[in-house]
């Protein structure tokens, strides 16, 4: 058995012309994983089409319908930051379905990784910050509704606070939200996670990893989750256009090993999404995202999952 990796061809559907952050990184990431033997074709899972009812576990039906039909008000569309198209709707829904499948496979095998995901700025009735539907929240509600897990820990290490996720699960004792992010970065108005750890601009590898170590192991013991959902954003990288932190490739690899090893060694299954990453050098960006899958593949075999 190899590491379950979730990928769908529609993940790489092009965004409309004029989008200021084109994203060929998804296809490049998948091809790199295949080339380097991290992804094995017979262990790549394709999500099926997403039932609208799953999205409505989290999002208001009026918002879901307006977005999918392309009738969202212009102001609400601008807040998302992505120009609408039928292709983007399809890609978005498959990405959310992929995170749901990632959670299910993690519960079955101990560890699984999506090649997209981490849309943590989406709120129940609106999207924000390039995030349309909150895949982490939807996956949480789906596995709970199916009786596959009761308590979920969301570990969000994207450089931006997971504000939508924090708001969705406020006052919900079954879901613990942990966000470690750059203090001065987007969003300007933060929500309240169950645990927020804001970092100073320019934080480098060693203080970052030391800070993470102060919290993660104790948090697992405290929450005792049935499933960990891990948002492994690489916009923490020193070369990221939207970052403001200063992790290196080595620092990101150490972070992924630290998170996954801490969870797996204590017996907690982990479903991973790639989170944010913004760079004009898409080959370098794809490699940064692949670090998650490289670390996961290493530990999947080490723990004989």
Specify the pLDDT at position 13: 60
User: Where are the alpha helices (H) located in 70-160, listed in sequence order?
Assistant: 74-80, 86-109, 135-145
- What average pLDDT does the structure give for the chain? 95
Enter the DSSP assignment of 194: S
Q: What share of the chain is helix, strand, coil (3-state, %, to 5)?
A: 45, 15, 40
Q: Is the pTM of this model over 0.95?
A: yes
Active site residues: 121
Residue showing tokens 């952050």: 21
| Whole-number pLDDT of residue 20 | 52
pLDDT at position 115 is: 97
**How many domains is the chain partitioned into structurally?**
1
Is it the case that residue 23 has pLDDT exceeding 80?
A: no
Give dist(CA 103, CA 275) in Å, integer: 15
pLDDT at 273 over 70: yes
Among all chains, which residue has been given the structure tokens 């997971």? 162
Confidence (pLDDT) at 21: 53
The CATH number that applies at residue 30 is 3.40.800.20
Which of 7-21, 42-56, 168-182 bottoms out in mean pLDDT, i.e. has the lowest? Answer: 7-21
> By CB neighbour count within 10 A (0-12 exposed, 13-18 middle, 19+ buried), where does 124 fall?
middle
Tokens of 283: 């080959």
Q: So what's the pLDDT on residue 108? A: 97
Q: Is the omega angle on the peptide bond into residue 81 within 30 degrees of 0, that is, cis?
A: no
What's the pLDDT tens digit per position in 115-167? Answer: 999 999 999 999 999 999 999 999 999 999 999 999 999 999 999 999 999 99
Q: Which domain holds residue 13?
A: 5-302
Two structure tokens written together for 20 = 């200021």
Q: Rounded CA gap, 292 and 240, in Å?
A: 17
191-237 pLDDT, tens per residue?
A: 999 999 999 999 999 999 999 999 999 999 999 999 999 999 999 99
Mean pLDDT (whole number) for 171-199: 97
Angle between helices 86-109 and 61-69 (to 10 degrees): 130
pLDDT of residue 43: 86
For residue 154, give the nearest of 185, 128, 191, 201 by alpha carbon: 191
Ranges 6-20, 27-41, 141-155, 287-301: which has the least confidence:
6-20
């Amino acid at each position: 058995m190899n590491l379950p990796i979730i990928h769908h061809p529609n993940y790489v559907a092009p965004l409309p012309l004029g989008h200021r952050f084109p994203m060929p990184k998804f296809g490049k990431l998948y091809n790199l994983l295949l080339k380097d033997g991290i992804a094995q074709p017979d262990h790549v899972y394709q999500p099926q089409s997403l039932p609208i009812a799953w999205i409505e576990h989290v999002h208001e039906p009026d918002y879901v319908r307006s977005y999918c039909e392309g009738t969202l008000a212009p102001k609400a569309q601008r807040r998302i930051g992505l120009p609408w198209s039928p292709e983007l709707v399809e890609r978005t829904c498959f990405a959310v379905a992929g995170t749901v499948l990632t959670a299910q496979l993690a519960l079955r095998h101990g560890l699984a990784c999506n090649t997209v995901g981490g849309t943590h700025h989406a709120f129940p009735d609106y999207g924000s910050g390039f995030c349309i539907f909150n895949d982490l929240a939807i996956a949480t509600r789906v596995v709970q509704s199916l009786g596959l897990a009761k308590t979920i820990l969301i570990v969000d290490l994207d450089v931006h606070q997971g504000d939508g996720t924090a708001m969705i699960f406020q006052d919900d004792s079954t879901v613990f939200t942990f966000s470690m992010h750059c203090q001065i970065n987007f969003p300007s108005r933060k929500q309240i996670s169950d645990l927020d750890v804001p970092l100073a601009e320019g934080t480098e590898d060693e203080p970052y990893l030391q800070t993470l170590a102060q919290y993660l192991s104790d948090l697992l013991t405290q929450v005792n989750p049935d499933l960990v959902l891990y948002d492994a954003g690489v916009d923490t990288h020193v070369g990221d256009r939207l970052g403001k932190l200063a992790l290196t490739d080595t620092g990101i690899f150490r972070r992924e090993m630290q998170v996954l090893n801490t969870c797996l060694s204590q017996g907690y299954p982990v479903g991973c999404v790639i989170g944010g990453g913004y760079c004009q050098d898409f080959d370098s960006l794809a490699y940064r995202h692949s670090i998650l899958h490289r670390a996961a593949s290493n530990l999947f075999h080490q723990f004989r999952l």
